[in-house]
Structure 1
């Protein structure tokens, strides 16, 4: 290396980080920050998370039924649920609730009709100390928190 017209000896060279090293450090910091911010898995899945997930999936099922013109069903169990019919990849397969989260419902199956004419349904999702009610009216789904000690 040459500086001011003279060659630098190896021990006189400038010490520092290369651009590649800086990019690698920034990438590591970015991934670590995103894991920290999005790290819902660190505190475990709660009844609220599962209630919101079920409501979102019910809304998607209603949209899919409307677009495809074919009815779907939601089959419920205390520790899982699955959508029957439809082509949406997000709705395929049985969703197993996390340990400690339990679901109860008025009916074992909920209809999702293309015209939104299915009777309203209500599902209760609980875990230790939290209770949420998911209501589905055929077109949309809502989640409501239940106060401790209230009847569901």
Structure 2
């Protein structure tokens, strides 16, 4: 199944504190997290996340393993995250939150580029250029299709 989104392009080594700053973790209000996503990296990004695909440089999600970073992205409306490499815990937090992940070669992009992606075919197309992604397991795809690990477990009862 093919999906579309709009590219939000960020650099490499963007850590989870840049995705959601620690000062916002005093609340459990996910909307607050979404509203302040990437605030210390670029304060204009949060308003562009709905329906977006984050195209990142290598090593996205490094630093602390805070799951709130993935939750903030989900709440903000991010459809997928694409990067040449992920911090492993962040990668799994994205999957467990229900966000598609694509590990690809580095992608040159501009904010607003059209992104077409398919989890079934493990591919991403940015501005008309196709990139093959490293396949993820079928069990991870099932978790993402369910909307995250909690929903996946509820459906299995």
Please report the TM-score for the alignment, with normalisation by the length of structure 1: 0.25
Report which of the two structures shows the higher radius of gyration computed on alpha carbons.
1
Please report the TM-score for the alignment, with normalisation by the length of structure 2: 0.25
